[in-house]
Amino acid sequence: MKMKKLSFFMIAGAICWIISEILEIVHGGYNPVILWLTVLFHLLAAVGIWGLHLGQAKGKNSLSFSGTALLSIGYLAFAAVPLIVIAGDFDGPAGVMEAYPAFRLFGAMSVIGILMFGAAVVKLRYFPAWAGIAFVMGSLVTFTILATHQSMLIANAANILVSVVLIKMAWQVIHHDQLKTI
């Protein structure tokens, strides 16, 4: 039952992220509403990812657990980035990442967590394999775009894809008894 409740946090967070990404595309950049929605996503996802882990692990699974722990820490750390943008003189997250190199460590932890969690999705087969692959690929596209300062529209699209995948997985956890894996 805990996993179902935790999964609602993921759905709420992913919806916040989708809205923030759409607003960022429409607005052509960041504003306080977009940044606060991004904070909400990261905080809710830090909790909600545990619902996905509990749904797929069904007992002890160190790959899923480790990936989830690293993702949760990364989500919490990256919740600070938009807060720093709001409080400081930064145009966006890229400036914060450059000014505070510690976020590179959290980025590396997050990438490792993404790879581990995605591998667990494929291995455990609770969620469809495509969900794990899409989660990994979309997340890595976003990290690559942020690291290389490429087109944010591609990162926006990748973040929306990742959000939809997270909603699908959370929905599956909540309705596992009623759904077949597609």
Query: Quick one: pLDDT at residue 135?
Result: 95
Residue closest to 155 by CA, chosen among 5, 66, 38, 8:
38
Query: Quick one: pLDDT at residue 61?
Result: 86
The Cα 153–Cα 27 span in angstroms is 12
How high does pLDDT run on average in the chain?
Answer: 91
Query: Quick one: pLDDT at residue 26?
Result: 96
The pLDDT averaged over each successive group of 10 residues in the chain (182 residues) is: 89 97 93 95 97 88 95 96 89 83 91 96 95 95 83 91 96 78 48
Q: How many CA atoms lie within 13 A of 78 on its CB side?
A: 26
Query: Quick one: pLDDT at residue 179?
Result: 53
The Cα 173–Cα 5 span in angstroms is 9
Whole-prediction pTM value? 0.91
Number of H helices, E strands in the chain: 7, 0
Residues with Cβ < 8 Å from 89, sequence gap 6 or more?
A: none
The structure tokens listed for 34 are 């977009």
Burial of 28 (C-beta count, 10 Å sphere; 0-12/13-18/19+)? exposed
The values of phi and psi at residue 162, to 5°, are -60, -40
